[in-house]
């Protein structure tokens, strides 16, 4: 009788414990969808150079012909897990050895940045970020 009672108690404990852990797993995705401000930046150590820039949110890309520094904000964008962001440059009038820093910010918090040193004409560089 003791073994049967012990088995029932153990089985009940395992069942309750597994239920609570699965609800914990589900709560991770409950933060989405979110509404955020997405900001793309491109900075240069010399500034003022003409660039071809492209910003992407999922499959929607927008091209910009700008001088640096460059900053573009998409206000109040709804994002989900897996929403993909990308900013890309192609040099137009840079000197070999100069640097371009690309940044992606979400609600004014940097989520991705990288510095590229120019090594050739018409150099292309990009950074990407995916919401998790």
Predicted local confidence at residue 121, as pLDDT: 85
**Strand 124-130's sheet: what is its strand order?**
60-67, 50-57, 84-91, 124-130
User: What residue segments make up the domains of the chain, in order of their start?
Assistant: 1-31, 32-130
Mean pLDDT of the chain: 83
Report residue 111 as tokens: 């989520």
pLDDT in tens, 75-110: 999 999 999 999 999 988 888 899 999 999 999 999
Assess contact for 38 and 110: CB atoms under 8 A.
no
Taking CB atoms within 8 Å and a gap of at least 24, the contacts of 93-98 are 93/49, 93/50, 94/44, 94/49, 94/118, 94/123, 95/46, 96/120, 98/44, 98/45, 98/46, 98/49
The residue length of the chain stands at 132
Q: What CATH number is given for 32-130 in this structure?
A: 2.60.60.60
Report residue 86 as tokens: 């990308």
Q: What is the pTM of this model?
A: 0.75
Q: How confident is the model at residue 15 (pLDDT cuts 50, 70, 90)?
A: low
């Amino acid at each position: 009788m003791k073994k049967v009672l012990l088995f029932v108690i153990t089985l009940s404990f395992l069942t309750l414990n597994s239920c609570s852990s699965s609800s914990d797993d589900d709560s991770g995705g409950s933060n989405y969808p979110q509404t955020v401000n997405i900001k793309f930046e491109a900075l240069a150590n010399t500034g003022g150079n003409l660039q071809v820039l492209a910003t992407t949110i999922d499959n929607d890309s927008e091209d910009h012909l700008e001088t640096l520094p460059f900053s573009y904000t998409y206000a109040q964008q709804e994002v989900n897990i897996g929403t993909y962001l990308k900013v890309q440059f192609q040099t137009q009038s840079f000197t070999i050895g100069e640097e371009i820093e690309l940044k992606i910010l979400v609600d004014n918090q940097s989520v991705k940045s990288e510095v590229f040193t120019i090594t050739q004409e018409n150099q292309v560089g990009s950074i990407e970020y995916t919401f998790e």
